[in-house]
Structure 1
Amino acid sequence: MYGCQQDLIKNPQLLPFLEYLCTTPNKLINCGIYLARQWYFKLSYITGKYDLEKQLKSNFNYKFIHSQAAQQTIRTVAEYFQSYRQLFHQYLGGELSNKPQLPRYGKKAGLGVITYPKQAIRLKQNKVRVPLGKKVKAAFKVDSFLLNFPKNIDFKKIRKIRIRPCNNYFYVEWVYKLEIELNQAMEKDKVLGYR
């Protein structure tokens, strides 16, 4: 099981930078959706997990963010189309009453979520170093930025982080592994629900 802790990014110096950075995943998702829709319409092919990555590695938006974050972004597009295929088969089998729709494009000037797997981030003195893409390094001479790491989470349990824009603010979501011991001898009259 996984837990997620969401923290507001309060550093005002990072806000314009994060806004600019979060436009890239939205553009990359739209590029991936366009390519996957073309494959679907012209070839009746639903994209696989790595197909879009191979095609979009040379894309400017792919190079703008860190490579592992770009991979995570593109894989979400593949997951959208895999979900569509499963729902469409359920619709054909009569399990669903409403016909599913192909994934749609995001807003042209919208912001997207950036996901970094744990292997892409580093902890130094209670701050997490978040890397940036090659194009950012070349254009702005900045290779990373720092986020305060929460004291109540063990860094060894972190699996990934997400930077999520929401209501003109930016949040960092710390996704970590939960270790829960299930007590088999629970008292059924003192629990909210059970199987």
Structure 2
Amino acid sequence: MYCCQQVLVGKNPGLIPILTFLCEQSHKLTNMGIYYGRQLYFKARIGIGKFDLEKVYKNNYHYKVLYSQAAQQTLRTVAESFRSYYGLIIAYNEGKIEHRPRIPNYRKKGGMATVSYPKQALKLKDNQIRIPLGNTCKRWFGVDSFLIPMPSIRAFSTLKELRILPRNRCFYWEACL
């Protein structure tokens, strides 16, 4: 069974700038991954693998700003969208689908994207989940992590992933079990 619980983040003046920054950096990293995947496909007709983007961007500024596992999740999401596209192209060429699929396109300029943390990156501290930040964020904001209340669904041991979702000028925690 897979379920998610969304919780609206309250108006926390100390936390909102950090969440905004993280989601903006995730957005920029996503666009960089899409750029690389598109260029590789258009110029050499080569597809990207699950870990290719991580190898290319591990020394990039936007990658280093995020916690490493969150940056990896962002780039793997891009790789998954390209794998899906490659599968749809094959299905189109075999006549299984009617309309030609489009290659993944860039996200709008100046936006925010979801930041995902796998359970391995999270820790439970006094019934709150500790979310770590990258080294650059630690220096800029003066904190190494922040805490959110544990969702009411189940125990921490059943948690698989925690996402920060930017929506309608608000932020949501999404705890996936």
TM-score normalised by length of structure 2: 0.96
How far apart are the structure 1 equivalents of 2:37 and 2:161?
26
Q: Deviations over 1:107-126 (max 9, x none)?
A: 11000000000010111111
Equivalent residue, structure 1, for 2:102? 101
AA aligned to 1:138 is R
**Residue 11 of structure 1: how far off its partner (Å):** 4.2
Over alpha carbons, which structure has the higher Rg? 1
Q: Deviations over 1:88-129 (max 9, x none)?
A: 111111111111001011111000000000010111111111
Matched, 1:15 2:13: no
Q: Secondary structure at the match of 2:160?
A: strand
How far apart are the structure 2 equivalents of 1:101 and 1:151?
40
Equivalent residue, structure 1, for 2:93? 92
AA aligned to 1:2 is Y
| Gaps in structure 1 of 5+ consecutive residues | 177-195
Equivalent residue, structure 2, for 1:36? 37
How far apart are the structure 1 equivalents of 2:27 and 2:117?
15
**Residue 141 of structure 1: how far off its partner (Å):** 2.1
Matched, 1:6 2:25: no
Equivalent residue, structure 1, for 2:155? 154
Equivalent residue, structure 2, for 1:125? 126
Equivalent residue, structure 2, for 1:137? 138
Q: Secondary structure at the match of 1:2?
A: coil
How far apart are the structure 2 equivalents of 1:175 and 1:111?
20
Maintained 8 Å contact 2:85/2:101: yes
Maintained 8 Å contact 2:138/2:144: yes
Q: Deviations over 1:8-50 (max 9, x none)?
A: 1114222232112210111000000111111111111110001
How far apart are the structure 1 equivalents of 2:167 and 2:140?
27
Equivalent residue, structure 2, for 1:110? 111
How far apart are the structure 1 equivalents of 2:36 and 2:21?
24
Q: CA RMSD in A?
A: 1.0
Aligned residues: 176
After TM superposition, what 4+ stretches of structure 1 lie above 4 angstroms from structure 2?
Answer: none
